[in-house]
Copies of this chain bind each other. A is one copy, B any other.
Amino acid sequence: MNYFSSDFKLGILGGGQLGKMLLYNTRKFDIYTCVLEASNKAPCKIACDEFHLGDLMDYNAVYNFGKQVDVLTIEIENVNVDALETLENEGVKVYPASNTLRTIQNKAKQKLFYIDHNIPTADFSRFAYISEIEDAVANGGLKFPFVWKAAQFGYDGNGVKVVRQLSDLDGLPKGECIAENLVPFKNELAVIVARNASGDTKTFPVVEMEFHPEANQVEYVICPARIPDDVARKATEVALKVSKAFNHVGLLAVEMFQTKDDAILVNEVAPRPHNSGHQTIEASYTSQFEQHLRAILNLPLGRTDNKVGGVMVNLVGAEGYTGNVVYQNIENIMTMDGVTPHIYGKKQTRPFRKMGHVTIVNEDLNEARRIAEEVKKSIKVISE
C-alpha cells in the first residue's frame, strides 16, 4: 500500500486535541485523513482532509465512516466496538483492535486480563452493583481503605475514589465497579510502547509522574524518570509484556505503580498517544504522534531516546474562574529557556479543565525540572 498518495485514507475516531496533534504529524508524510466526531467545533476540524459529523458510540456512524478508510485509529477509547469488529471482518485495518478496546473499556475486564496474562497488578474484587460492595464490607470480605473504580467510562480522575468508610460510597454511580487494594507507592510511572503490524517494538523512556505533596495531583511528567536503572528496566519489561499480551499495534501507554519495595504493578493502559508522552514532541528523537503513525502504517519505528531532558506541565483552569480564557503571564514563561506552551484553543475555561500543556526541555533534566517549577508558579489559566 502506498501511504504517500491520496489513494490511501487514514480514519481517526475522535476530533479532540490528541487527534489534532496526530494530524499535524500526518502532514509530514502527506497522508490523507478523515475524522469522525460529534461536535462541529472539534479541534481536529481545521487539520484534517475530511471532517465527518457523527456519534462515536453509534454503530452506524462508526461503521459508515470506517468503511471509507484503509486504516482506522482512535484518539479516545469510548467508541462503538461492535462497529470496529465488523470493519475488521470486512478488511479494514483497525488499530487498536476491537478486542483490545473491549477489554480496556471495562476496568474489571482489563484487570482480569492482567491476571490471565500474569501481569502484575494490584489485587481487586469485581462487583456487578455498588450495593454488593456494601454487602462485602458487612460480611468482612472487603476491608477499608480501598479504591473504588467504575468499570466503564471513567477517565481523567473521574470514576475513581479512595473509600475509607461506607459513607464515601454515597453518590457514586450504582453500576459495575471494582474495589482495588490501595497500594502505597513511591512513584507513578508510565512507559509508552510502540509496536507496528510486523511486530517490531520500541519503548520510550520510563516517565515519572511527580505529585504535588499536598494536593495529590500530578504536577510534572518527568522524562526520563529519576529512578534506579533496574527499576526502569523492570517497568519497561512489564510494559512490553502488556503490549505483547494485547498483540497490540500502535502506541500503548502503560501506567504503573512503583511500590515501596520496588515492585511494579500495572494500573491501567491507553492504546493511543497519551498525556504521559507529550514531552516527546520536544524531547525525543521521535514524537509519540509520529511514532503512532509509523506503527499503525507498519512503517519502521523511529528512535525513542531523548535528545535532552523533558518535563511536562499540564495547563488546567484555575479554581474560581469560569468564562473566556486568559493565559496570565504566558509571555513571562516564554522568556524562560526551552519552554514551549501548547495552547489547545478551548475558548472557555473552568476549574481543572485541561486547557493545554507546557513542555520544558534542557540538556540537564534537573534544570528543566527547576524551570518547570518557575513555569508552574508563573502562568495561570483564568477568565476575562
* Copies of this chain, tallied across the complex: 2
CA distance A338 to B344 in the complex (A): 28
Interface-lining segment among A105-113, A159-167, A186-194, A327-335: A327-335
Inter-chain contacts of A299 with B (CB < 8 A):
331, 334
The answer to whether the Cβ of A290 comes within 8 Å of any Cβ in the partner chain is: yes
* A6 interfacial by beta-carbon distance below 8 Å: yes
Q: Which residue of B lies closest to A359 (CB)?
A: B28
- In the complex, the answer to whether A335 meets B300 with C-beta atoms within 8 Å is yes
Contact at A300–B334, with CB atoms within 8 Å?
yes
Q: Which residues of B contact A41 (CB under 8 A)?
A: none
Which B-chain residue is minimally distant from A308 (CB atoms)?
Answer: B307
A47–B307 alpha-carbon span in the complex (Å): 28
A68 nearest CB across to chain B (Å): 18
Query: Cα distance A340–B24 when bound, in Å?
Result: 14
The answer to whether A343 and B30 touch across the interface, beta carbons within 8 angstroms, is yes
Question: B residues within 8 A CB of A218?
Answer: none
CB-defined contacts of A135 to chain B, threshold 8 Å: none
In the bound complex, do residue A343 and residue B302 qualify as a contact, i.e. CB atoms below 8 Å apart?
no
Point out the residue from B2, B30, B285, B307 that lies within 8 Å of A345, measured CB to CB. Answer: B30
User: A20 CA to B325 CA in the complex, in Å?
Assistant: 27
Q: A237 interface residue, CB < 8 Å from B?
A: no
B28 near A300 (CB under 8 angstroms)?
no
Size of the chain A interface, CB-CB below 8 angstroms: 44
Contact pattern, A 339-360, Cβ under 8 Å of B = 1, otherwise 0: 1111111010000000000000
Query: Does A29 sit within 8 A of B, measured CB to CB?
Result: yes
A370 at the interface (CB under 8 A from B): no
Closest chain B CB from A22 CB (angstroms): 12
In this assembly, does A326 line the interface, its C-beta being within 8 Å of a C-beta of chain B? yes
Q: Which of A254-309 contact B (CB under 8 A)?
A: 285-286, 290, 294, 299-300, 302-303, 307-308
Do residues B46 and A303 form an inter-chain contact, with CB atoms below 8 A? Answer: no
Contact B49 A343 (CB under 8 A): no
For residue A361, CB closer than 8 A to chain B, the reply is yes
Distance between A4 CB and nearest chain B CB, rounded to angstroms? 5
Q: Check A337 for interface membership: any CB of B closer than 8 A.
A: yes
Measured CB to CB, the residues of A under 8 A from B are 2, 4-6, 20, 24, 27-30, 46-49, 285-286, 290, 294, 299-300, 302-303, 307-308, 324-327, 330-331, 334-335, 337-345, 347, 361, 363
Q: Which 9 A-B pairs have the closest CB atoms?
A: A30-B345, A300-B335, A30-B343, A307-B307, A300-B334, A307-B308, A303-B337, A28-B342, A24-B24
